[in-house]
Amino acid sequence: MNHPASPQPDALLNNLRLLCAQSSVSGQTRELTECADSVVAILRDVGLDCRILPTAGAPIVIGRYDAGAERTLLLYGRYDVPPAGLRRSWSIDPFRPTVRDNKVYARGAVVKGELVARAAALQTLIEQKVPLNITFVVEGESLIGSPNLGAAREAIGASNLSLWSGGGFDSAGLPLFYTGVKGLLQVELQVATATTVVPATYAATVPNPIWTLVMALSSIKSEFEEILIEGFYDEIAPPSRQELNTVQGLDVGDQERRKAWGLQQFVANVGGAMLTRTETFSPTVNISNLNVNSSTAPAIPQRASAEIQFQLVPDLQPARLFELLQTHLQNRGFNDLHIKLLPGAYKPLLSAELPIDAAQAAVPIFGKPAHVLPLTPFAAPAALLAPDVPLLSCGLERPSSSILGADEHVPFEDVMAHTRLMIELITRIAV
């Protein structure tokens, strides 16, 4: 169903091509800076006053529209992308955007699709003189925990509502809205034993850092998916009956996910509404990387390490969890293990009541109301920018999007629909 205020598809596609052609891979300062400059150019073209806020890492873009209104909307966007991986895994050059079957293929097509869709929506709204002040913050460190995003909080001033980036669709193709986000804690467990690589001959007497690391990791999570850190669950506020009711009967497309990701089944064989419930309300601990100082010959390595991410549900705080983790490992005798706090940590955030009926905002575009969930399945740094105002998050990710794999893509009709959805949402907010 078309919204009467439709964006210009050619301009939208050109901006998406422009951003996706830039290899703004997380951690690559020069490329991130160049992409930030392009974001500034796009936002200025749509009518925002822009500036770049330098940080110790990637620059933060801040765009403003001053309507002289009493209320201000904060929008959040991202321009950093994951590495493309092996070029031979892609059917195209990952940084030469290609349109095929009305889908845009490129690394970063999804998050940059969200970004350009929102910029296009703002152009329409500014031309219509929307009675709402708008602040648009776009960062380039979302993939490493947003360690410098807090620096923008003072620079942007107060807001009344924040519109966040990220989210997907249900099995019927309706967008999912979220009114809260999970928090994040990232740590690295480091073990070092001998000062040199020792032959495996001495495995009976020389401590092996890999075994120490494996045993430490095994003590954190059980085979039944229970997190074993003492006091962990004492910090968590259980979801209310009203919150649990939001996922009743909701199908996010578990069969489509299994097919797209090549899975036989999910953890504990969950599916249907239980899959959504588990992803929404469960904290997580994930091992994302293992490193070993190895040798080509059978040997006892000198060092081993593991990077771990915790996704936090209310009311679990990252600083408190770090303390609990330290105590947990010390009590089990892992005295030769060092716990390093990685940059980027923030608390979860549950929203206050929204001033609009977000579900109904989807009707003019999709023909049906959207589902509104109380918490994202992913972590997002809303607490760093706007901890005291209502938030709403939605995005463009589908199971087949391949946002971390080869041939990432976004249907261009999704980008167009997201633009119209933003126009509808912001128009309702401004009333």
Q: Is residue 251 part of a domain?
A: no
Looking up residue 389, the CATH number of its domain turns out to be 3.40.630.10
pLDDT of residue 324: 99
Residue 395 near residue 409 (C-beta atoms within 8 A): no
Instruction: Please report which residue ranges of 289-402 form alpha helices under DSSP H.
Output: 318-331, 358-361, 363-366, 382-385
373 and 357 co-located in one domain: yes
Q: Is residue 106 part of a domain?
A: yes
pLDDT of residue 173: 95
Looking up residue 334, the CATH number of its domain turns out to be 3.30.70.360
Residue listed under structure tokens 């494996």: 214
78 and 215 co-located in one domain: no
Please tell me the distance from the alpha carbon of residue 333 to that of residue 263, in angstroms, as a whole number: 37
Please tell me the distance from the alpha carbon of residue 302 to that of residue 198, in angstroms, as a whole number: 8
Output the CA–CA distances (angstroms, integers) from residue 232 to 227, 259, 333, 372, 413, in the order listed.
7, 34, 19, 28, 43
131 and 199 co-located in one domain: no
pTM for the full model? 0.94
167 and 67 co-located in one domain: yes
Q: Is residue 248 part of a domain?
A: no
Instruction: Determine if residue 258 is left, alpha or beta; phi over 0 gives left, psi from -120 to 50 gives alpha, anything else beta.
Output: alpha
Q: Is residue 410 part of a domain?
A: yes
Q: Is residue 366 part of a domain?
A: yes
Looking at 341, 363, 391, the residue that finishes a domain is: 341
Q: Is residue 256 part of a domain?
A: no
Q: Is residue 273 part of a domain?
A: no
pLDDT of residue 4: 43
Computed on alpha carbons and rounded to an integer, the radius of gyration of the chain in Å comes to 23
128 and 32 co-located in one domain: yes
Contacts of 283 (CB under 8 A, 6+ apart): 182, 227, 232, 236, 310, 311, 312, 313, 316
Please tell me the distance from the alpha carbon of residue 110 to that of residue 116, in angstroms, as a whole number: 10
314 and 380 co-located in one domain: no
SS3 content of the chain, % helix, strand, coil (to 5): 35, 25, 40
Distance spanning both ends of the chain, measured CA to CA: 23
pLDDT, tens digit (0-9, with 9 covering 90-100), for 31-57? 999 999 999 999 999 999 999 999 999
- The segments of the chain whose pLDDT lies below 70 read 1-6
Residue listed under structure tokens 């999804």: 110
Please tell me the distance from the alpha carbon of residue 145 to that of residue 342, in angstroms, as a whole number: 9
pLDDT of residue 346: 98
114 and 194 co-located in one domain: no
23 and 172 co-located in one domain: yes
Q: Are strands 49-53 and 284-292 parallel, antiparallel or unpaired?
A: unpaired
Instruction: State the burial class of residue 326 (Cβ atoms within 10 Å of its Cβ: 0-12, 13-18, 19+).
Output: middle
CB atoms within 10 A of CB 101: 8
332 and 379 co-located in one domain: no
131 and 222 co-located in one domain: no
Residue listed under structure tokens 């009976």: 204
Residue listed under structure tokens 């939001």: 246
Instruction: State the burial class of residue 353 (Cβ atoms within 10 Å of its Cβ: 0-12, 13-18, 19+).
Output: exposed
Looking at 293, 311, 341, the residue that finishes a domain is: 341
Q: Are strands 198-199 and 349-350 parallel, antiparallel or unpaired?
A: unpaired
Looking at 301, 323, 341, the residue that finishes a domain is: 341
Please tell me the distance from the alpha carbon of residue 88 to that of residue 108, in angstroms, as a whole number: 18
pLDDT of residue 353: 86
178 and 188 co-located in one domain: no
CA 86 to chain centre: 23
The domain tally of the chain equals 2
Q: Are strands 337-341 and 183-192 parallel, antiparallel or unpaired?
A: antiparallel
pLDDT of residue 1: 38
The pair of structure tokens assigned to 317 is: 């705080």
Q: Is residue 258 part of a domain?
A: no
Q: For the chain, what's the residue count?
A: 431
pLDDT, tens digit (0-9, with 9 covering 90-100), for 378-406? 999 999 999 999 999 999 999 999 999 99
71 and 173 co-located in one domain: yes
Helices 109-127 + 9-20 axis angle, to 10: 140
| Domain around 192 | 183-236+283-341
What kind and span of H or E run contains 306? strand 303-312
